[in-house]
Amino acid sequence: MRIRRIGAAERPALSLPLQAYAFDRTPMPPGELEDLRKHARYSEGNVTLVAEVDAEAVAVASAIPMRQNVRGRVYPMAGVGGVATHPLARRQGHVRALLTRLLGEARDAGHVVSALYPFRPSFYERFGYVGLPQTGTVTFSPADLAGLLAHDLPGTVAVERIKDGYDSYRALFERLLADRHGFATLPEYRAVRLRDDDEHWLATARVDDEVVGAVTYRISGHAGTLQADHLLATGPLGRALLLGFFARHVDQVATVEATVAPDERPELWATDLGTVTETRARFPENAPMGRVLSLDALAGLPVGPGRVAVEVVDDPFVAGRYLLDGTGGALSVERGQAVGAASVPASSIPTATLTAAGLSGLVYGVLDPDDLVVRGLGRVPRDAARQLRTLWTRCVPYLAVGF
């Protein structure tokens, strides 16, 4: 088996058929396959690796160069997708080899973290990924928002097709990327598909020409549903302006559905607002997962004042010994400090052993050190747990983009 990186010209013949077989309704009429090929430009900057046996492509995996906010800092992130093996070549280790190569290349190219949407989380946990929280869908009646219209809010809302408002929508996404833990953005060549498909309305809330909220949506029909995507806002005013806009659909649609952050509480948005918020995290709508590809590159990350030695095990990318110190409020990472060596007396430094998934759970703020112990993701004595808990406090990442 040989692993090879392929360029855009080879994708239609090599990777697309494997991915279409795995993820689409097949066999496809010739026209549909042609449509898929036309969309190739939205993958132009992806890194695609294929595994070939006897010059035949049998497995494929791609990485999309994205960016993600981790605890307030924005890092290059490898979004992994399109992972598929020909049915006759499955369970022969092809994807294990491909993913190991893909993530190694991504790490060497400067990607500090990686994220994906798994078909089965346990499959990717063995590749160092940990579950991140799923976004929710809130459903409510626009009639319940009537109270919001009574307030004269200092701002305006404009509505247009996404192809016309794409630039301001993208700019808001970029702004939220800088602010919100877990937020990620697609590269421009991929993101513009939303604009080019032009299948959504865009409502944009502004205060003095500054965009403070935006949401893309579709309407299913009269008396139907206003289906909104992520309700993006810089704060309560932007959100209230968008909700006020939804309220104006009271005689047009029966319900509004919107995607919200995992820690959002829509029942607090307005008095008398009746909401149902659902989170689905089961096949095929599994929650996303993320992993750290380089712990050294996280030096400088805003952290709490913990000091701890960790040994990361069983991982080709982050395995090793590290001394982590957050005393100054920014993470210091020292490599290769063998605990027990003269500079690191075993007695003075609490020490933990972590898998890559366990480490990733702490960095992303989704697991407590005690979770690692009960889930088999690490050995964390009490004193080390205390330090790790202070170093990386719990926090909720909001991954608002699919890929």
Ligand X SMILES: CC(C)(COP(=O)(O)OP(=O)(O)OC[C@H]1O[C@@H](n2cnc3c(N)ncnc32)[C@H](O)[C@@H]1OP(=O)(O)O)[C@@H](O)C(=O)NCCC(=O)NCCS
Chain residues that interact with ligand X, rule: CB under 6 A = 22, 59, 83-85, 90-96, 118-120, 123, 126
Rounded CA separation 311/380 (Å): 11
Nearer to ligand X, 186 or 295 (CB): 186
Task: Give the residue carrying structure tokens 């791609």.
Answer: 62
Shortest spacing between CB 51 and ligand X, in angstroms: 8
Nearest to 20 by CA among 47, 41, 40: 40
CB of 1 to ligand X, least distance (A): 10
Closest approach, Cβ 131 to ligand X, in A, equals 14
Using CA atoms, how far residue 113 sits from 16, 104, 106, 318, 328, in Å, is: 26, 11, 9, 11, 24
Shortest Cβ 96–ligand X spacing (Å): 4
Q: Report the residue number, 1 or 237, with the smaller CB distance to ligand X.
A: 1
Instruction: Compare residues 283 and 300 and give the one whose CB is closer to ligand X.
Output: 283
**Would the CA dihedral through 117, 119, 121, 125 be positive or negative?**
negative
Do 111 and 76 touch, CB atoms closer than 8 A?
yes
Q: Helix, strand or coil for residue 380? A: coil
Query: Smallest distance from the beta carbon of 24 to ligand X, in angstroms?
Result: 11
Return d(Cα 330, Cα 302) in angstroms, integer. 5
Residue closer to ligand X by CB (options 21, 189) is 21
How many residues make up the chain in this entry? 403
Task: Please say which residue, 90 or 151, places its beta carbon nearer to ligand X.
Answer: 90
Nearer to ligand X, 126 or 307 (CB): 126
Task: Label residues 150-183 b or e (16+ Cβ within 10 Å = b).
Answer: eeebebebeeeebeebbebbbebbebbbeebbbb
Residue 54 C-beta: closest distance to ligand X, Å: 16
